[in-house]
Each structure stands twice: as structure tokens, then as C-alpha cells.
Amino acid sequence: MKLALMGISNSGRTTIFNGLTGQDAATACYAGAETKPNVAVVKVPDHRIDQLACVFKPKKITYATVEYMDYLGLTKGDAEQNGKVIDFLKNADALVYVLRGFDDEHVAHPLGGVDPVRDFDTLETELLIFDLDLTEKRLLHMEEAARRGKPPHKDERSAVLACKETLEKGMPLRCMEFDETQKLALKHLTFISSLPVMAVINVAECDLKSERSSAWQEAIRERTGRFTLDPMTPIVLSGKSEMEIARLPREEAAEFLKDLGVDVSARERMIKESYQMLGLISFLTVGEDEVRAWTIRNGTEARTAAGKIHTDLERGFIRAEVVSYDDFIGVGSLAAARAKGLLRLEGKTYIVRDGDIIDFRFSV
């Protein structure tokens, strides 16, 4: 799962990237020189894995991971740079909008002053423009092909027209419902506004719980609510403090968070939220060799989940032995879970739930 940070230049993306990944990428104001993207894989914090590791004392502990990517920011009117940014973002599974909410006269704001709601609109518009452009190019291409005697596939033409109509209303494609025919017809096109999005507002420490931050959150929630029944509430965080926290030893980090009056770090909230946004859950495998979390889409059947581990497990699937994490922790061992009837035998179509501890039986 790849999450790309997107934002106007100087919104603090690289600072947040460092906070999320513990890296030390340069955060100086971008001076127009060619830079390489920052990329890092981070572990998804999961207390269940920590607990299970205490029980099984495995040789290896493996958390689920997400990959963060950070590159150039959008600027006002630099079409070439903005085009590069969008091309980069197309590699992602989801976007994280970084909206600047901190005042600092030494850090220039390409759009004038601090206004995360306007910046949110700017990012949304940028995606719409690129997608609209893609629909137009595609339609033109189909017309030209038709003139040369190769009529377009009717499903693609109508699907692209439907996208165009949506975009012209100012609605991102992520809010549009596609039927199976449309999905198939559009499969070869990458529409950037169809990616899931979450937003973070990067504020000064003193604004972590301020009225102005709540007002920003509410305004963005209201905007996204125009097109969906499931509006988003941006996360308010302080990129600078997150970066400092990421550099501290664990215990000191906890102290720091307590001083800030927050119980979990923004890093943890962001990772959890991105999981939810993408409809992802984890199932767990346990043993003396390894305790591990595996990422799957919510709604995945047991047999497909087995295939995450190895194709042999999917091919030769016999059954899954399942106990929920909570049931397991309640009794403390697999033997006790079995004795109490908490260990269930499930077939290949069983829908795996978040936190299921699974042992797959298979034969090839």
C-alpha cells in the first residue's frame, strides 16, 4: 500500500514524512532544483502483534507495512512542475493531502497566506483538471480512430463521457459510483481523482486543539460532504513535533505526547486512518517461528487470504482454523481456545475479520 503526500509547496510534507518514517530527508525550502522522491516503508503499529509476541516469543515479529512517498509540491502556475507532481502521484494507492495551517513569515506560502480550506480546494481542483484533460484526450483519440475506420468501444466512450460529466460538476471521481461495465471499460485509464484521499492540517503546537483548527476541520468536512454521504474530517497535527517525537527514544516520546495532551501520536492516527480509508484489515498468524500481521481488503474470503501467504495455500486450501484475537487473549493459549470451543473451523468462503488469528490447513 503506497500513500503519497500531496500539497502546496512549503506545506510541511517532508517534515511530516520524516515524522512518519523516522527519516531525515532535507526539509529546506525547495529552490527549484531537481530532487528525488523520498520513499520509506513503515511498520503499522499493532498492539495485538506486541501482545502475541509476548505469548509466543517467536524468532521473528512482522508487522504490516505501508509505504510513504513524498515529492515536489504544487506551485502556483508552474504547469511543468505540477504535471510532474501528478505523474508521480499516479503511482500511489491513496493520497494524503498536507494542508498548511502554521504561520511563519520565514516560510513563503505560494498562494499568499495560510488558508488550509482554500488549499484543499486548490488540490481538489488540480486533480479535477488533470482528469478532465484525460477524458478530453481520450474522447479525441476515439474520434480520430473512428475517422480512420476504427469505431471506439461503446462502453468506453459512454464511461468516459460519464466521468467527464461528473468532473464538470466539480465532483472527484472517487465520489462517483461505477457499475461493473464502466469499471472494466475504464480499467486502462488512471484517473487521479478516483484515488482515496485523507487530509492532514499541519499546525503549530499551540493550534493542536484550537478553535481555528476546529473551524478548518469543519469547513473541509462540509465541503467533502457535498458529494458523499461519508465526508472526511482532516487530522490536525504538528509536523514539527511529530518529527521531534520520531527522533526520541520510546519512553521520552510518550512523555512528550502527554505534555502535548494527546494520547496517540499523529503517526499512529494517520496510519490507522489510511488503513480504514482504503478498506484494509489485518489477519494474524502465530507460532514459535513468527508472529505476523497480513494486510487484506475488508470482505476477503479465507481462501484468497491464504493466497496472501503463499499460492500453495490458496490452491490446496482445505480449511482455516480461526480464533479472534480477543477470544485468544481471553484464554491465553491455542490449546485453551480449542478446549473452550473458541477455535472455529471455517471454509474457503468465510469472510476474514480484522484481528482473526488463522492457521490454514492445505494440501498440494
Ligand X SMILES: Nc1nc2c(ncn2[C@@H]2O[C@H](COP(=O)(O)OP(=O)(O)OP(=O)(O)O)[C@@H](O)[C@H]2O)c(=O)[nH]1
30 or 63: CB nearest ligand X: 30
Q: How near is the Cβ of 207 to Mg ion at its closest, in Å?
A: 21
Using the rule CB under 6 A, give the single segment among 23-31, 146-154, 218-226, 287-295 that binds ligand X. 23-31
69 or 127: CB nearest Mg ion: 69
87 or 168: CB nearest ligand X: 87
98 or 358: CB nearest ligand X: 98
Which does residue 355 touch among ligand X, Mg ion, none (CB within 5 to 8 A, set by kind)? none
Q: Which residue among 41, 107, 140, 351 contacts ligand X (CB under 6 A)? A: 107
Q: Which residue among 73, 234, 307, 355 contacts ligand X (CB under 6 A)? A: 73
Q: How near is the Cβ of 97 to ligand X at its closest, in Å?
A: 11
Give me the residues paired with residue 96 across strands. Answer: 5, 198
Q: H/E/C letters for each residue in 192-224?
A: HHHCCEEEEEECCHHHCCCHHHHHHHHHHHHHH
Q: Give CA–CA dist 104/110, Å, rounded.
A: 13
Per-residue mark of binding to ligand X, 203-242 (x: CB under 6 A): -x---------------------------------xxx--
Q: Longest Cα pair distance anywhere in the chain, in angstroms?
A: 72
Query: Which residues, in sequence order, are CB contacts of 102 under 8 Å at separation 6+?
Result: 12, 114, 202, 203, 204, 207, 238, 239, 240
Q: Which residue among 202, 224, 265, 285 contacts ligand X (CB under 6 A)? A: 202
Q: Which residue among 3, 14, 176, 334 contacts ligand X (CB under 6 A)? A: 14
Spatial contact of 192 and 88, defined as CB atoms under 8 Å apart = no
Q: Which residue among 23, 30, 227, 246 contacts ligand X (CB under 6 A)? A: 30
Q: Which residue among 3, 6, 11, 322 contacts ligand X (CB under 6 A)? A: 11
Spatial contact of 208 and 262, defined as CB atoms under 8 Å apart = yes
Q: Which residue among 14, 122, 135, 224 contacts Mg ion (CB under 5 A)? A: 14
Q: How near is the Cβ of 249 to ligand X at its closest, in Å?
A: 22
299: cell is 470482505
Q: Give CA–CA dist 138/161, Å, rounded.
A: 10
Contacting ligand X within 317-336 (CB under 6 A): none
Q: Give CA–CA dist 343/321, Å, rounded.
A: 6
Q: How near is the Cβ of 71 to ligand X at its closest, in Å?
A: 8
14 or 202: CB nearest Mg ion: 14
Q: How near is the Cβ of 30 to Mg ion at its closest, in Å?
A: 6
Write out the E strands in the chain.
Answer: 2-7, 38-43, 60-62, 65-70, 94-100, 197-202, 235-237, 280-285, 290-297, 317-324, 344-346, 356-362
175: cell is 465520489
Using the rule CB under 6 A, give the single segment among 12-20, 49-57, 223-231, 267-275 that binds ligand X. 12-20
Give me the residues paired with residue 43 across strands. Answer: 65
Within 317-364, where are the H helices? 325-331, 334-339
Q: Which residue among 27, 51, 194, 298 contacts ligand X (CB under 6 A)? A: 27
**How many other CB atoms are found less than 10 A from the CB of residue 44?**
19
Footprint of Mg ion (CB under 5 A) = 13-14
Footprint of ligand X (CB under 6 A) = 7, 9-15, 27, 29-30, 73, 102, 104, 107, 202, 204, 238-240
